[in-house]
Structure 1
Amino acid sequence: METTTQPVVPTKAKPLARPELLAPAGSLEKLKFAIHYGADAVYIGGQKYGLRSNADNFSFEEMKEGVEFANRYGAKVFVAANIYAHNEDIEGIEDYLRNLQDAGISAIIVADPAIIETCRRAAPKLEVHLSTQQSTMNWQAVQWWKENGVDRVVLAREASMQEILDIKKHVDIEIETFIHGAMCSSWSGRCVLSNHFTDRDSNRGGCCQSCRWKYDLFTESEENPLFEQGDEAFSMGSKDMCMIEHIPDMIRSGVDSFKIEGRMKSIHYVATVVNAYRQAIDSYLADPEGYVLKPEWVEEINKAANRPLNTGFFYEMPDHEDQIFAPEDKPNEYDFAGLVVGYDEAEGMVTVQQRNHFKPGQEVEFFGPGGTFFKQKVDTLWDEEGNELDAARHPMQRVRFRINHPVKEFDMMRKKSGKTK
């Protein structure tokens, strides 16, 4: 992970507050995993008005179930309603916001002033969190939003650490920043490539992620590409942000909510990343003077990483080294292989719900909330009727085998990616 760091010195000495760890939840199952693995709050999308129209967005019934689950853990559920609305989007927004309020949602994440004003009038129990889509960068803009009824401001991904410190110095309002996940190749929330190439509006939930495509170059007068046959195609994707190594700086900055990007990411990704940040945050707050970054936290993050990592705009302006122009070496990739659904302590036998193919003799890893972790090889494998298996081939099939350490329900099993047949 590449970074240039400068120590963060808070503008005023005061007790360190416990920041909220805010996780993505693209589905009800992901919501439960995110909270179980340590998220204080999750953000989801409804079936309207959000910027991830291709996610498994929530019905109102699913929202209610998600809120009930979150309440058992003392967690909150936020809903992204952060499109820039056109005239045809406005009809029905009042009823939609009232239904969110009735479902027990704690806050909406919103960019359009019209939706903010409508929420204040129609669903006053909902907190209003200003979306990063507004690209808020300075304390005067934050003050203006506070005076106009916003409860929290999600800063632009492009905000630096010094800008965050200045904002916290001048304005008494909750501040949320992204600490992990994808960065935009354009200025966040201002890209129109998707609109131009595919007629899918990135500011109305339809982004096709055209910045991740592969491109070639052509001269104006010739049809032949400039790249030679076999050359790597050109791309312009940015590296992903990762602040796991800089949790002390983030906490000392006074940021109220640490946000992880990724409502379209897998359950394995959500659980792994949330688990690592939860441990780092809790460890620092328990002993700021004796805090030490554990290598296993960084290793866990790398197991879930899809792209190379950096520290975004926090410490310096990204340059060409922070873009991905060609394939790069990736950390070891892992697949979510199974979910622990039962454990017989007397027999040392685990029951796993299969999520990816695995077989006897293959090394797997078990991990769970709070640092549960061990590796072992799969020995004899049985189905629920006691029949011996040569592999776990069928998605969602429940299989049993002996393990070397205790596990709990919701612990996960993963394997290195590979074409096991």
Structure 2
Amino acid sequence: MLLNRKSVELLAPAGTWDALVAGVESGADAVYLGGKHFNMRMHEGEFNFDDALLKKAIDYAHEHGVRLYITLNNLISNEEIPALREYLAYLNEIRPDALLVQDFAVLELVHEMGITIPLHTSVMMNTHNEHAIEKLKEYGITRIVVGREMTLSELSLFRERTGIEVEYFMHGDMCISESGQCIHSGVLFGQSGNRGRCLKPCRWAYKLIDEKTGEVLDKDGPGAYKLALKDMCMYRAIPQLIQAGVFSFKIEGRMRPAGFIRRIVSTYRKAIDAYIADPNGYTTDEEGWKKLYDNRARDFTTTFAFGQPGKKDIGFTGEREPRFFSHAVKEAGFQDEVLRQERDIEKENAAHRVLSVRCNTVESAKAAIRSGADTVYVGGEAFRPLRPWKLGDYEEILAYAKGKARVVVTTPRTTMRRECGELEQFFTALREIRPDGLMVSNLGSLKLAQSLTDLPVQADLSFNLFNQLAAKFLKENGLSMAATSYELSFEQLREIVETAELPLETVVHGSYESMICDHDFPAMSLPAFNELDNPEVLDRHYALLDTAGEKHAIRIDQYGRNHLYFAKDLCLYPYLSKFNGLASYRIEAQDYTPELTGRVTKLYREALDALAAGKGAEEAFDHAAFEEVERLSPREWGIGTYRFRQSRNSI
């Protein structure tokens, strides 16, 4: 590859006019910024650009030969769609060089309105496999901001196979969770990280404990801030970035002052130019490194660029944490003042209300079917010490369910190159086994499922369905049903159910993940953790204990990913009469025993049948059965985000 000044793009952030000027004057090839609405930095009123200033910024950038991209990269709720239409029409007039997007609603509107601005996927779209790229190209996507969990070697192959332009974070604040897969702030505070309002529970102090006994396991560990990832700094790896095929070098920092932007951009500009001018003779400019290092906020890491991160990549002491956005609080129990006052969903119910249950073993699936489940979801991630489902397991449950229930096979939420390779073989085998359907979690596994099988396909929670236009997008792409986001308030859910053309499923009960991480938290916190010498350490149930006394279970799947759970399980049993018109009521029993799976399924089955028979909410509610099952639950119950009037919006 012969390099020249246009071989790579140095992309600077701007949250204020002064920061924009600093980035341009310091040598940025492009700048990205957000308007006052619809972006991932919604906390600070003095940051971001109003409509008039956006036009002025575009004109200024173009006068200086610099490209300008506008972030439109958060989830959109139904009530925001009219304002989004107006905003897109305005952006089409003032002509930025690209829009960074997350929500499928934007793709729908861009097509509907004839918007001709190039589109880049935000990192929040969690694009991590080549099959997703092929699908996104159909919607005019020209650049991908790849997931932070992708190594440079994986990225290089990804770029070679797809030919798409790649943007990569190379400096700044990083999330510990997979992008778009953290709902902790949204459920706990009603301020969603997927909607630009994250209050950063990942920056809290935690103890690592044995979930069953409560024993503190990390008394001699490196520190309490176990999820506090250090800041990305790829300054010493500029040659590797360029040779891997990264086109755009992205600096994070739209909340940073102009002086910070000027220093960072000028330092990277000088280094990139030096490498392009003489790759063979290039060495790291140690003066530039010292300038970055001495002015750092947090310490530095290269996260996944060169392989699996370890304890050296976490700021365990919290000493260099520049700001704490929140503190641990107790999760909501049945604090339902808002929910009880909400108008019921006004949509006709089917004569028989469908109950689906996600199960972790063959025995749990059988228990759910015996207790009245219409659909069982099987497969996907297996949480140790459980083992993944084998082909024979699927055949067994299909034989058992015949004539009683549908069996839908799930797939992993994250499908990197390894998982995609396994899915290709798995989907081919399913042609013979013939389950009743598939449930997928991203556009890549959707494309694989549709190309290798003729089975009905539905969308799981990872699609972050937040509005009716996203539902329309999924329907147009052949999906038969989709799960709604956990972060929706009841009011926002009601709007979608009443307007969406696609059948919708909502989780009404169960344990659920606050975030999914490719980091191994027990391994990073425990000095004696060694899975090679002691593989049994992988099968132990760990948990994180926050300073409010809430216990967050950690589940390790077959791919080594850590799933962090909320301290309370979701329970909407007392409010079922409000949830009308759903295509499916779903129970998440992946962390339940077969006995508990059966008991919870029976509880909901009887209530749904009572409502279908015309009984009122109080008649359908079995207090004794409710209390008995609650006692058997491994965690307390609560209503999650339904305690809020809305997930705070972006307008």
TM-score by length of 2: 0.46
CA distance in 1, matches of 2:270, 2:248: 16
- The residue correspondences of 1:186-225 to structure 2 (distance < 5 A) are 186-215=177-206
Residue 18 of structure 2 corresponds to 29
Q: 2:35 aligns with which of 34, 46, 54?
A: 46
Higher relative contact order (CA 8 A, sep 6+): 2
Please tell me whether the aligned partners of residues 118 and 140 of structure 2 are also in contact (alpha carbons under 8 angstroms).
no
Q: Tell me, which stretches of 5 or more residues in structure 1 are unaligned?
A: 1-12, 331-421
- The residue correspondences of 1:4-403 to structure 2 (distance < 5 A) are 13=1, 15=3, 18-55=7-44, 56-122=47-113, 124-215=115-206, 234-327=225-318
Shift of 1:61: 0.8
Structure 1 residues 235 and 196 mapped into 2: Cα distance closer, same or farther (>3 Å)? farther
Please tell me whether the aligned partners of residues 139 and 166 of structure 1 are also in contact (alpha carbons under 8 angstroms).
no
Shift of 1:215: 4.6
Residue 396 of structure 1 corresponds to none
As a proportion of its length, which structure holds more strand?
1
CA deviations on 1:18-77 (whole Å, 9 max, x unpaired) are: 211111101121111111111111111111111111241111111111112212210011
Q: Tell me, which stretches of 5 or more residues in structure 2 are unaligned?
A: 322-651
CA distance in 2, matches of 1:87, 1:122: 17
Structure 1 residues 57 and 227 mapped into 2: Cα distance closer, same or farther (>3 Å)? same
Q: Which amino acid aligns with 2:182?
A: C
Please tell me whether the aligned partners of residues 200 and 208 of structure 1 are also in contact (alpha carbons under 8 angstroms).
yes
Please tell me whether the aligned partners of residues 70 and 77 of structure 1 are also in contact (alpha carbons under 8 angstroms).
yes
Structure 1 residues 283 and 209 mapped into 2: Cα distance closer, same or farther (>3 Å)? same
| Paired residue secondary structure (2:281) | coil
CA distance in 2, matches of 1:95, 1:43: 21
Calculate percent identity across the aligned residue pairs: 35
Structure 1 residues 329 and 136 mapped into 2: Cα distance closer, same or farther (>3 Å)? closer
Please tell me whether the aligned partners of residues 60 and 103 of structure 1 are also in contact (alpha carbons under 8 angstroms).
no
Structure 1 residues 121 and 232 mapped into 2: Cα distance closer, same or farther (>3 Å)? same
CA distance in 1, matches of 2:269, 2:106: 33
Please tell me whether the aligned partners of residues 183 and 192 of structure 2 are also in contact (alpha carbons under 8 angstroms).
yes
Shift of 1:284: 0.7
| Paired residue secondary structure (2:18) | helix
| Paired residue secondary structure (2:280) | coil
| Paired residue secondary structure (1:324) | coil
As a proportion of its length, which structure holds more helix?
2
Please tell me whether the aligned partners of residues 224 and 317 of structure 2 are also in contact (alpha carbons under 8 angstroms).
yes
- What is the CA RMSD across the aligned residues, in angstroms? 2.7
Please tell me whether the aligned partners of residues 195 and 201 of structure 1 are also in contact (alpha carbons under 8 angstroms).
yes
Shift of 1:202: 1.0
Please tell me whether the aligned partners of residues 97 and 123 of structure 1 are also in contact (alpha carbons under 8 angstroms).
no
Please tell me whether the aligned partners of residues 134 and 162 of structure 2 are also in contact (alpha carbons under 8 angstroms).
yes
Please tell me whether the aligned partners of residues 228 and 318 of structure 2 are also in contact (alpha carbons under 8 angstroms).
no
Please tell me whether the aligned partners of residues 40 and 196 of structure 2 are also in contact (alpha carbons under 8 angstroms).
yes
| Paired residue secondary structure (1:92) | helix
CA deviations on 1:304-328 (whole Å, 9 max, x unpaired) are: 3111101111111112221122145
CA deviations on 1:372-413 (whole Å, 9 max, x unpaired) are: xxxxxxxxxxxxxxxxxxxxxxxxxxxxxxxxxxxxxxxxxx
Please tell me whether the aligned partners of residues 10 and 248 of structure 2 are also in contact (alpha carbons under 8 angstroms).
yes
Greater Cα radius of gyration, structure 1 or 2: 2
CA distance in 2, matches of 1:233, 1:156: 26
Deviates further, 43-52 or 84-93: 84-93
CA distance in 1, matches of 2:152, 2:208: 37
CA distance in 1, matches of 2:148, 2:105: 23
TM-score by length of 1: 0.69
Shift of 1:226: 11
